[in-house]
Amino acid sequence: MKKHDFKSKIVSNKKIAENFYRMELESKGILFSAGEFFQISVPTHILRRPFAPSYSDSEKFAYTYQIVGEGTEMLSKLAEGTELSVIAPLGNGFTMPEDNSTAILVGGGCGTPSLALLATQLSKKNVIIYSIIGSRSSCTVLEKARLEKYSKKVVVTTDDGSEGLKGNSVNGVESILKEAKCNSSTINIFSCGPAPMLKSLTQLANRENINTELSFEERMACGFGACMGCVIKINSKNTEEGFVYKRVCHDGPVFNSKEIYWQ
């Protein structure tokens, strides 16, 4: 899909959880497929910031961000009507599964909101949806209401046990697999979150022989493959090392779990 560089006004910018904000921007008719991302300018900062949308229609799109540094701190203070520069859509999104299949969406932290967009788009197909939301505690559980709207069941896991299962997102997947009792060939796992979670999920998927796609949250500078700053290791039988590098922004951010070199 052709990328666009355009000016977009902030429609809303609100705090939704401890240290998390949700910003809505004018979309100018541009629609996102789940898993794609955009680059946004931050006033007084040279480098743009990459984010994945949690909502998308012809009038506006939304994304959730966590305050982790000066750039995101500045974003949280921007008022409605502020105009920002956006490059979108970027990257390659999730593969839509076949009808009559089961989709398990696995989110960890700030990776969960992008799966809310995936759930919205999957709801238009004949697919059974299960969702797992992984969070540090109950005060940072994201997109629960939206995922409940589209999912047969939502499992919340928290590190401290303050809500749902005590543990991580992979523990939630294990509980769903026991309950769903469907053939692994009809299951697709889609996940976005921190790398340690994605690695554990890959081990589970390989053990159960489940097709799994992972969206990586790497730091990006350019967003379209020029700077080589967001590479990850991909399995390769043609190199002595056993891997090659691919760019998350250009070749991803979504990869099949079987491609990833985790050693």
In the prediction, which pLDDT does 46 show? Answer: 86
What global pTM score does this model have?
0.95
In the prediction, which pLDDT does 155 show? Answer: 96
Give pLDDT < 70 ranges for the chain: 1-2
Average pLDDT, the chain: 93
Show Cβ contacts of residue 77 under 8 Å, excluding neighbours closer than 6 positions: none
CB 155 within 8 A of CB 131: yes
Q: Enter the DSSP assignment of 253.
A: B
- In whole angstroms, give the CA distance from residue 178 to residue 194: 24
Over the stretch 139-183, which tens digit does the pLDDT of each residue have? 999 999 999 999 999 999 999 999 999 999 999 999 999 888 777
- In whole angstroms, give the CA distance from residue 1 to residue 97: 20
Element counts in the chain: helices (H) and strands (E): 6, 16
Q: What are phi and psi of 205, to 5 degrees?
A: -65, -40
Q: Which of 75, 105, 80 has its CA nearest to residue 25? A: 80
Using CA atoms of 178, 181, 185, 189 in order, give the dihedral in degrees to the nearest 10: -40
In the prediction, which pLDDT does 1 show? Answer: 55
With 0-12 / 13-18 / 19 or more C-beta atoms within 10 angstroms meaning exposed / middle / buried, residue 147 is buried
